[in-house]
Amino acid sequence: MKKPLAPPPGTASGPLHIYRGNDARVGIFIDAENLFISLQQSSPSKARPRKLNYRKILERCLSGRTAYCARFYDITSEYQPGKVAFFTAIEQHFEVLTKPLRTYPDGATKGDWDIGIAVDMIDMATKLDVVVLGSGDGDFIPVVKYLQQKKHCRVEGISFGHSTHPDLLKALDSHIDLAANAAANLYKKW
């Protein structure tokens, strides 16, 4: 039996977090709405927001490891017909899961995937060594801790640091900040 490799310097790893290096099976779960809203808040101009390059994001999340699953969760709306072309491009790299935006009688709208993402991460955890969460939402903190403590998964995050809940940052084993200069290559060129 192979002895687990030591984690790279600067990453958290306790006895419950088994680090398997490039042999790790990785599950990636991207909350598109969360990242999109954070991207809009971080863009230098509302007229020309930056666009994320999801192929490069997938590569960065994997870092040479094997993808067991790569899922992209988004909300659809009749007011965004251009999303069809967007999803077609994303489907080259991710399994795309969508659900419609709900509109209530008072005109309020709601759409999120938090529970669905959490259930999928827990459901697949026995097949994974590493879970990558693409969200900065603090509602995921209990799920992150559960995956680490009960399912013995390493949990990494990718999100915008400025809009990521501070306690989520503390709970994650590692984090890629999409707003950092080091993440500049994860954007599409204009």
Q: Tens digits of per-residue pLDDT, 89-102?
A: 788 889 999 888 88
Q: pLDDT value at position 146?
A: 98
Would you say 136 and 165 are in contact if contact means Cβ atoms under 8 Å apart? Answer: yes
Q: pLDDT value at position 188?
A: 75
Question: What average pLDDT does the chain have?
Answer: 83
Q: Decide yes or no: CATH 3.30.300.210 for domain 21-186.
A: no
Q: pLDDT value at position 36?
A: 83
Q: Are strands 102-103 and 109-110 parallel, antiparallel or unpaired?
A: antiparallel
| Domain range annotation of the chain | 21-186
Secondary structure (3-state) at 84? helix
Based on its alpha-carbon atoms, the radius of gyration of the chain, rounded to whole angstroms, reads: 17
Buried b (16+ CB within 10 A) or exposed e, 84-102: eeebeebeebbebbeeeee
168 has which bridge partners? none
Q: Is pLDDT at 151 greater than 90 in this prediction?
A: yes
At 27, list the tokens. 């599950």
pTM, two decimal places: 0.82
Q: Is pLDDT at 34 greater than 90 in this prediction?
A: no
Q: Is pLDDT at 13 greater than 60 in this prediction?
A: no
Q: pLDDT value at position 149?
A: 96
Higher per-residue pLDDT: 132 or 49: 132
Confidence of residue 8 (pLDDT cuts 50, 70, 90): very low
Q: Is pLDDT at 45 greater than 70 in this prediction?
A: no
Would you say 144 and 171 are in contact if contact means Cβ atoms under 8 Å apart? Answer: yes
Q: What is the pLDDT of residues 54-90, one digit of tens each?
A: 899 999 999 999 999 999 999 887 766 556 556 677 8
